[in-house]
Structures are given as structure tokens and as C-alpha cells.
Amino acid sequence: MLSKRMEEALNAQVNAEFWSAYLYLSMSMHFENESYKGIANWFKVQFQEEQDHATIFMNYINSMGGKVTLRPIDAVETSWNSILHAYEETLRHEKVVTGLINDLYSIAIEDKDYATQSMLKWFIDEQIEEEETARDYIDALKKIGDNGYGLYMLDKELAARTYTTPAPLANNNE
């Protein structure tokens, strides 16, 4: 059983995950338009993953007898100066999300809500990976600078990223 405060915070997280999805879809469309198809692909996969994160939270609210209440999704940026700029924004945003997940965990501790603490552990690990990946691409892009061949090779590399169902949803489908 979720406390009212926990249910509201989880619903706010559903909205935050859909906002993240919308942000990355916007980045994907921007880079598609800039003819960086690999970068666009990377952000498209990111968009899919964020929708999965929202779904994991919605499934959890439902499984605990709570009610999912969907709210409007705020507008997102629609263009970025460079690929580096997009990854810097990605890292900045993922740090915000890490803070939100930590806040949820703090509420779960205060509520002695062990089920929600257990569910959130996957997200705590996921956020480490999300921030590390963005940081790695920022480092790579700083080394590449304006080198056209370097950007071409990175675009090729990111074209290979494929979507995989995250563990909490994959387990659900068993």
C-alpha cells in the first residue's frame, strides 16, 4: 500500500520520465534534420528507454493498488548548437533525474515502504549508467572537436545502438 505522498511522487516521476522521452525524441529529430543519422538513432533509443522507465513506474503504481494519473508534458527545446551541447544537456538532465529518484527513495525510507525501496534500486543503478554514458560521450566529443572525420566515425558508431527491453519489463513479460 502506497502512502498518498508516495503515490503522488511516483505519478510526478511518470511525468518526468515522459518529459525525458520527449526531450530525447526532440534531440533525435534535430540530429536527423542535421543529417547525423547515428546520433539521431542513439537519441531515438534513449526516447524508447525513457518510455520504458515511465511504464515501469506506471506498472508499479498499478500493482500496488494506486492510481496512475497522467498530466500534461511540458515543452522541450527543439534545437542544439552542437552534438557536444546535446550531450552536455543530457548529462545535466540525467543529474536532475538522479536527484528525483533519490528523493523518491528518501520518501520510501520515511514511509518504511520497503517495496518501493526495492523497486527503486534498479533505477538507482540505471542512473549511474545514464550519467556515465553521457559523460563518456562528452569526453569523446571534446577530443574530436571540429574534426569532421571524428564526427563521421562517432555517428557511424552510434548508428549501431539497438534497443533492448529493460530487465523490470522483460521480467514482467515472462
Which of 107, 14, 16 shows the shortest CA–CA distance to 67?
14
Q: Is 20 in the site for ligand FEO (CB under 6 A)?
A: yes
The separation between the first and the last C-alpha atoms of the chain, rounded to the nearest angstrom, is: 25
Q: Is 88 in the site for ligand FEO (CB under 6 A)?
A: no
Phi-psi region of 145 (alpha: psi -120 to 50; beta: other; left: phi over 0): left
Mask: binding to ligand FEO, 97-116, rule CB under 6 A, as x and -? x-------------------
| Residues numbered 49-68 forming contacts with ligand FEO, rule: CB under 6 A | 50, 53
98 and 61 in contact (C-beta within 8 Å)?
A: no
Q: How far is the CB of 127 from ligand FEO (least distance, A)?
A: 6
Residues 63, 113, 54, 166: is their CA dihedral positive or negative?
negative
Q: Is 130 in the site for ligand FEO (CB under 6 A)?
A: yes
Write down the residue that cell numbers 496512475 correspond to: 68
Q: How far is the CB of 37 from ligand FEO (least distance, A)?
A: 22
Which residue has its beta carbon closest to ligand FEO?
53
The radius of gyration computed from the CA coordinates of the chain, to the nearest angstrom, equals 17
Binding ligand FEO (rule: CB under 6 A), the pick from 17, 88, 113, 155 is 17
Q: Which residues bind ligand FEO (CB under 6 A)?
A: 17, 20, 50, 53, 94, 97, 130
